Amino acid sequence: MDLGASIQGRHVLVTGASSGLGRHFAELCARHGARVTVAARRRDRLETLVEDLRRLGAAGAAALDLDVSDAASVTAALEEAEREAPLDILVNNAGIAESRPALDVEEDLYDAVVDTNLKGVWLCSTGAARIWRDAKRPGVIVNIASILGFGVTGSVSVYAATKAAVVQMTAAHALEWARFGIRVNALAPGYIATEMNAAFFESDPGLAMIRRIPTRRLGQPEDLDGPFLLLATDASRWMTGSCITVDGGHLVSAL
Ligand code: NDP
C-alpha cells in the first residue's frame, strides 16, 4: 500500500505546526498531496509555512490561530478548518516542556504544561470527534506523545506525566469512539534532533545520553515519517488505541 497515496486529498489539521515536528509533519503531508491546515499561536510563522506547503504540493493549505489550552480558541479553529473543507485527520502535536527540577516548578508553569499537553489534546480531540460523530463521518486522530510517557529523566516531571496521560487518553478515546468510526492512536518519539535541543546534545550530558541509545544516535524528524503515515492513513485501518514508540531503542537500553 502506498501510504502517501492514501493521504492524498485528505484534510489534515496539525496543531503546533509553527516549528519543529509539527512543521515537519505538515510538510510531509503536503509532499504527499494532502490538504493541510496548520495551527498555532505564532501566526506570522504559519503564513510563511502555508506558502511552502503549496510549493511542496499540498492540495490546499491554510493557517489558523490556535491556542490549544483555550476552549473558545479550539472551537473557533475547528469550525474554521471544517469551513475550508471537511476535516479527515487531526494531529495533536502542540506541546511544551518545563526543563527544570520538580522542586523549581511553580504553579503557573505546571498549569501551562498540563493545559497545553493534556487539556489541549482533550479539547482538540473531543471537538473533532463531536464534529465527526454529528456528521456521521469517520475520523483519524494521531496524538504525539513521547518516550517520556513511559520512562523518566530529570527536569521533566510534569511533561513526563502529561505524556503518560496522553497515552492513556489515546486508549480511552479509542475505546469510546470506535463505534463512530473514529480511530485514535499515538506516536511516542524518542529524542529527535531539533534546533532547540542542538546545544544540549553537544554538551557532555547530552553526548552521554546519546551513548545510552542502543542505535547511538539521535532521531531525525524524517525517522518518524513511516510510523506517522501509518497512523494517519488507512494502512492502520484496524489499529486504534495503539501507541508506537520510535526511539532507536532508547526505551530498551540496558540497565
Ligand atoms: P517545538 O517547541 O519546536 O514546537 C512546539 C509547537 O507547539 C510550536 O509550534 C508551538 O507553537 C506549539 N504550541 C505550544 N503551545 C501551544 C498552544 N498553547 N497552542 C497551540 N500551539 C502551541 O517542539 P517539538 O517540535 O520538539 O515538539 C512537538 C511535539 O513533539 C510536542 O508535543 C513534543 O512533546 C513532542 N515530542 C518532541 C520530541 C523531540 O525530541 N523534539 C520527542 C518526543 C515528543 P506556538 O508557540 O506558535 O503556539
- Catalytic residue status for 110: no
Instruction: Please state the domain extents for the chain.
Output: 11-248
Tell me the CA–centroid distance for residue 119 and ligand 1, in Å: 14
Q: What pLDDT was estimated at residue 231?
A: 98
d(CA 27, CA 1): 21
For residues 96 and 94, what is the distance between their CA atoms, to the nearest angstrom?
A: 7
Cα separation of 65 and 46, whole Å?
A: 9
Q: How far is the CA of 22 from the centre of ligand 1 (A)?
A: 7
Q: Whose CA is nearest to atom 6 of ligand 1?
A: 16
Q: Is pLDDT at 33 greater than 90 in this prediction? A: yes
Phi, psi of 91 (to 5 degrees): -110, 105
Higher pLDDT, residue 14 or 5: 14
Separation of alpha carbons 114 and 92, rounded Å: 14
Task: Find where cell 482533550 sits.
Answer: 122
The pLDDT of residue 5 is above 90:
no
Give the chain's mean pLDDT.
Answer: 97
d(CA 225, CA 208) in angstroms, rounded, equals 26
Give the separation between CA 56 and CA 43, rounded to whole angstroms. 20
Residue 213: pLDDT over 90: yes
Q: Write out the three cell numbers for 82.
A: 471544517
Q: Whose CA is nearest to atom 34 of ligand 1?
A: 95
Pairing status of strand 89-92 against strand 35-40? unpaired
Give the N- to C-terminal CA distance of the chain in Å, as an integer.
Answer: 39
Fold of domain 11-248 = Rossmann fold (3.40.50)
Between CA 158 and CA 101 the distance in angstroms is 10
Which of 13, 15, 18, 142 for mutating ligand 1's site (highest number of atoms within 8 Å of CB)? 18
* CA 1 / ligand 1 centre spacing (Å): 30
Catalytic residue among 159, 177, 191, 228: 159
pLDDT, tens digit (0-9, with 9 covering 90-100), for 76-132: 999 999 999 999 999 999 999 999 999 999 999 999 999 999 999 999 999 999 999
CA 192 to ligand 1 center in whole angstroms: 12
Q: How far is CA 243 from CA 57, 58, 108, 215, in A?
A: 29, 27, 30, 21
Q: Tell me how far apart the alpha carbons of residues 60 and 51 are, in angstroms, rounded to a whole number.
A: 10
pLDDT digits (tens, 9 = 90+) for 149-189: 999 999 999 999 999 999 999 999 999 999 999 999 999 99
